[in-house]
Amino acid sequence: VTLGILASGRGSNAQAIMDAIRRGEADATVGIIISDNPAAPVLARAAEYGVPARCIERARFTSREAFEEAVADELIAYGVELVVLAGFMRLLSPYFISRFPGRIMNIHPSLLPAFPGLDAQGQALRYGVKVSGCTVHFVDEGMDSGPIILQEAVPVRDDDTPATLAERILAVEHVLYPRAISLYCQRRLVVEGRRVRIREGEE
């Protein structure tokens, strides 16, 4: 399966996915990485792995739809089947989603539906939860609201700051996201309404 990764920043999840593919843990190739941010470190990471990378800036387009059309056309040009959002800081419109129906995944650093949106780790600390975690889900039109594929819990410690909690969650993200992608590539994810059933198979 050819993946297209959309990322706005650091790109540690993109790297974890490329590393997992290198180790043979997912039957996938990264066709292209697209960033909306010219300063995103993820662009240099792509180059290190010999993966094509492109920056497409929102400001160069007059509308969100025109921007998303350019992104979708580029993904299609690289033969992308599954769109992987990895720290992509934009909400995608129904137009973009309709171009990749059931074929967009996202990772979010909380146990959804708790704490969607920005600064999920800060939200968790302010709320006072004792357990948070991360969620891989299919993307629908809402904010962090699509069918959940995998989740894993991470403890919150009394002395956590948003940064220390984020770091603990991130280590789990780097394992969970490649696993979800691998399951997709093995055609083992079956969406039944809001629920994603995982078909039997070898991990």
CA nearest neighbour of 83 among 136, 129, 139, 145: 139
**Residue span binding ligand GRF (CB under 6 A) among the ranges 10-18, 90-98, 154-162, 181-189:** 10-18
3 state DSSP class of 94: helix
Whole-angstrom Cα distance, residue 46 to residue 53? 6
9 lines the binding site for ligand GRF (CB under 6 A): yes
In total, the chain counts a number of residues equal to 203
Sign of CA dihedral 79, 84, 87, 92: positive
Active site residues: 108
Q: CB within 8 A of 122, min separation 6: which ones?
A: 162
In Å, what is the CA distance from 84 to each residue of 22, 105, 132, 160? Answer: 17, 5, 22, 29
Which lies closer to ligand GRF via its Cβ, residue 34 or residue 170? 170
Quick one: 103 or 108, whose CB is closer to ligand GRF? Answer: 108
Among positions 10, 64, 99, 179, the unique one binding ligand GRF when judged by CB under 6 A: 10
User: Min. distance of Cβ 94 from ligand GRF in angstroms?
Assistant: 21
60 is in an annotated binding site: no
Spatial contact of 5 and 34, defined as CB atoms under 8 Å apart: yes
| Shortest Å distance, C-beta 65 to ligand GRF | 23
In the set 34, 72, 124, 173, which binds ligand GRF (CB under 6 A)? 173
Residues near ligand GRF (CB under 6 A): 7, 9-13, 86-87, 107-109, 170, 173
| Residue list for the binding site for (6R)-10-formyltetrahydrofolate | 64, 89-92, 106
Summarize the annotated binding site as residue ranges. Answer: 11-13, 64, 89-92, 106
